[in-house]
Amino acid sequence: MSEFDPEQFEDKYVNYFPQLQKAYQQAFEVMNDRYDSELVHAIDQQVLNESEPFYDEDRGFYVELPESPSERLTAVVVDDEKLSVVMEEYVDRLESELHHIFGVDR
């Protein structure tokens, strides 16, 4: 793979779609091993499917979630505290996977 180009990431779904898929898949697999698979699957399908990864030279990769992620979860019942912990770790893992796949230091 060629070196990461931040300008090309602006059109990420054209230029980097396979890498994005891999990052999301790897984050899912790690989280699925650590937490209840129904919760992880629900987060993946009902929250992260509408998330947006970005790259900034100061912040590196970061993921913006859609508004009101807890309200989007209808497939499982989970208390807000547990959801917050799992979501934070999931987003952290996803950002780590993006940094790793694209070879960009955090």
Task: Give residue 102's pLDDT.
Answer: 95
DSSP 13-49: HHHSHHHHHHHHHHHHHHHHHHS-HHHHHHHHHHTGG
- pLDDT tens sequence for the chain (106 residues): 458 999 999 999 999 999 999 999 999 999 999 999 999 999 999 999 999 999 999 999 999 999 998 899 998 999 999 999 999 999 999 999 999 999 998 7
Task: Give the separation between CA 75 and CA 105, rounded to whole angstroms.
Answer: 36
Model pTM above 0.85: yes
| 44 closest CA partner among 54, 30, 60, 59 | 30
Task: Give residue 3's pLDDT.
Answer: 82
- Classify residue 58 as left (phi > 0), alpha (psi -120 to 50) or beta: alpha
Task: Give residue 2's pLDDT.
Answer: 57
**Tokens 């697999």 belong to which residue?**
29
